Chain A
Amino acid sequence: MNPDHDPLLELDDVHAYLGESHILQGVSLTVPRHRVTVLLGRNGVGKTTTMRAVLGLVRRTGHIVFAGSEIGREETHDIVRRGIGYVPEDRDVFHGLTVGENLRLAERRGGRPRYDLVYELFPELKNRAKHLAGTLSGGQQQMLSLARGLLNDNDLLLIDEPTKGLAPVVVREVVEVLERTAGQTTVLMVEQNLAVARRLADHIAVMVDGTIVLNGPATRLAEDDETVRAYLSVESAVSGAGS
Chain B
Amino acid sequence: MSNVILMIFTGLSVGAVYFLLGSGLALIFGLMRVLTFAHGAYLTACAYAGWFILRHSSLAAGPSIGTLLLALLVGVVVGGALAFLTERVLLRALYQRDHLDQLLVTAGLGFSLVALLNGIWGPDSRAVPTPPWFTRTTTDIFGAHIARGDFVLIGVAVLLLIALEAFLKHTRHGLVVRAGVENREMVRALGIDVRRSFTLIFTVGGAVAGLGGVLAALYANAVNTTIGDTYLLYAFIVLVVGGLGSLRGAAIAALAVGLLQQFANFYVNPGLGEILSFILMGAMLLLRPEGVGGKKIRLI
Q: B-contacting residues of A (Cβ < 8 Å)?
A: 55, 57, 75-77, 80-81, 84, 86, 88, 92, 94-97, 101-102, 104-106, 108, 132, 134-135, 148
Contacts and interface: CB of A to CB of B under 8 A. Distances in A.
Given A57-B189, A80-B189, A135-B298, 6 more contacts: A76-B189, A81-B191, A88-B186, A92-B183, A101-B175, A104-B175
Contacts of A102: 179
Given A96-B182, A105-B187, A135-B297, A77 B175 contact: no
Chain B's interface: helix, strand, loop or mixed, by majority?
helix
Given A95-B297, A96-B297, A135-B298, A77 B179 contact: no
Contacts of B175: 97, 101, 104-105
B172 A105 contact: yes
B182 A108 contact: no
Interface in B216-272: none
A191 to B, nearest CB: 19
Contacts, number: 65
A77 B191 contact: yes
Interface in B160-183: 172, 175-176, 178-179, 182-183
Interface of B: 172, 175-176, 178-179, 182-183, 185-194, 295, 297-298
B295 A132 contact: yes
A105 B189 contact: no
A94 B178 contact: yes
Contacts of A105: 172, 175-176, 179, 187, 190, 192
B90 to A, nearest CB: 21
A160 B185 CA distance: 15
Contacts of B193: 75, 77
B9 to A, nearest CB: 37
